[in-house]
Amino acid sequence: MTQSEFLNVVMPFKDKLYRLAKRLLVSSEEAEDATQEILMKLWSNNKSIGKYKNVEAFAMTMTKNFCLDRLKSKQSSNLKLVHSNYHDGATSLQRQVEAKDSVSWVERIMEDLPEQQKMVLQLRDVEEYDYDEIAKLLEMKPTAVRVTLSRARKAVREKLLEKHRYGIG
């Protein structure tokens, strides 16, 4: 595979790799390093990339595994799972503050979710993968993905409602 072919195949989903890494790792720098590492691994194996049916799914799986390994390593004992890839510069300051507050609440709620629920919620609602793709990435059955997603959404919804009730009802 030539360099231009590689760029045409891999670069369109580079941002997805970064967002997944950002979802799993606490800092932007860590996510950038992870993304760069995955791209380097893909390039070093560029001759065998053509044998994969879905290069994007393969790269996403590599990213997930790389980030989880990074989290398990001793050097990353201070890392934690977070989600902070929301940015909107076209709205009023008040709306930005409200949106950041909402995202912050959802992040805090998601931190308490089981790992599998966090991953399914990220891949489905943020990355917009379909159920079959998520099932392959996480080695689950599509039905289990739907159940996990439903439980994660329900937990987030209940916690948000609890927060917005302010002790009423």
User: Quick one: 168 exposed, middle or buried, by C-beta within 10 A (0-12, 13-18, 19+)?
Assistant: exposed
Per-residue confidence (pLDDT) for residue 168, from 0 to 100: 56
Q: How far is CA 64 from CA 92, 133, 166, in A?
A: 35, 14, 37
The residue among 79, 111, 139 that closes a domain is 79
| Residue 68 maps to a domain | yes
| Residue 87 maps to a domain | no
| Residue at token pair 């940015």 | 87
96 Cβ neighbours under 8 A, 6+ residues apart: 88, 89
The residue among 45, 79, 113 that closes a domain is 79
CATH number of the domain encompassing residue 28: 1.10.1740.10
166: left (phi over 0), alpha (psi -120 to 50) or beta: left
Per-residue confidence (pLDDT) for residue 132, from 0 to 100: 92
CATH number of the domain encompassing residue 153: 1.10.10.10
Pair 110, 156: CB distance under 8 Å: yes
The residue among 56, 79, 102 that closes a domain is 79
Q: How far is CA 138 from the centre of its chain?
A: 12
pTM exceeding 0.75: no
| Domain that includes residue 2, residue range | 1-79
Per-residue confidence (pLDDT) for residue 71, from 0 to 100: 81
Residues of the chain with confidence (pLDDT) below 50 = 74, 76, 79-86, 88, 169
Q: How far is CA 76 from CA 13, 81, 145, in A?
A: 26, 11, 28
Looking at the structure, tell me whether residues 97 and 36 fall in a common domain.
no
Per-residue confidence (pLDDT) for residue 166, from 0 to 100: 60
